[in-house]
């Protein structure tokens, strides 16, 4: 299960991604927003990320104007590793190397065609583990208040 959310700026892109996922037969939960009316992105990021940390969804896709604000909010949720991407390589390698569980994109930055390509590679790429596990564990240690090194 995939979870989606956006603010008003990301709403049109989220709707395009929903169409794309439906065509692909990928199940998703839509945490809103449900219109282009102005809203604040943090609550939508949090609502979607809690679906991941509760185990209801495995991965998430969030959209705002730049992808940045919603990624900052998402990364404040314990257990979330959100990556703001606008290129194919980053969307792929943030799964392979960072075990990112949320992809964030900016509706004012990239078009729907590229965004759907990024979603596809993000959802179909597995974490490589190995030496990258240690690095992801260090990110979690920072989240837990540990001082590294």
Q: Which stretch binds ligand RB5 (CB under 6 A): 19-27, 60-68, 88-96, 114-122?
A: 60-68
119 neighbors 103 (Cβ within 8 angstroms) = yes
* Residue whose CB is less far from ligand RB5, 64 or 119: 64
**And the tokens for 76?**
């404040």
| Contact status: 69 vs ligand RB5 (CB under 6 A) | yes
Q: Is 132 a catalytic residue?
A: no
Q: Is 84 a catalytic residue?
A: no
Which one is catalytic: 64, 84, 104, 116? 64
Minimum distance, C-beta of residue 68 to ligand RB5, in the bound complex (Å): 5
Pick from 29, 68, 96, 123 the residue near ligand RB5 by CB under 6 A.
68
- Applying CB under 6 A, the site for ligand RB5 has a residue count of 8
- Laid out side by side, the sheet with 82-84 consists of 28-30, 2-6, 59-64, 102-106, 82-84
**What is the spatial distance between Cα 117 and Cα 85, in angstroms, rounded to a whole number?**
11
- List, as own/partner pairs, every contact residues 89-93 make where C-beta atoms lie below 8 angstroms and the sequence separation is at least 24, other chains included: 91/118, 91/119, 91/121, 91/122, 92/121, 92/122, 92/125
Closest residue to ligand RB5 in the complex (CB): 69
Does residue 44 interact with ligand RB5 by CB under 6 A?
no
Residues that bind ligand RB5 (CB under 6 A): 7, 9, 41, 64-66, 68-69
């Amino acid at each position: 299960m995939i979870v989606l959310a956006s603010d008003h700026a990301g709403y049109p892109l989220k709707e395009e991604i929903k169409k794309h996922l439906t065509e692909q037969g990928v199940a998703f939960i839509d945490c809103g927003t449900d219109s282009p009316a102005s809203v604040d992105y943090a609550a939508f990021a949090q609502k979607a990320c809690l679906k991941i940390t509760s185990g209801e969804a495995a991965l998430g896709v969030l959209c705002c104007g730049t992808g940045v604000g919603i990624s900052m909010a998402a990364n404040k949720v314990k257990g979330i590793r959100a990556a703001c991407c606008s290129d194919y390589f980053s969307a792929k390698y943030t799964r392979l190397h960072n075990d990112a569980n949320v992809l964030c994109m900016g509706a004012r930055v990239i078009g729907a065609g590229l965004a759907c390509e990024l979603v596809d590679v993000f959802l179909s790429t597995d974490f490589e583990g190995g030496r990258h596990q240690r690095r992801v564990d260090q990110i979690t240690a920072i989240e837990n208040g540990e001082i590294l090194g």
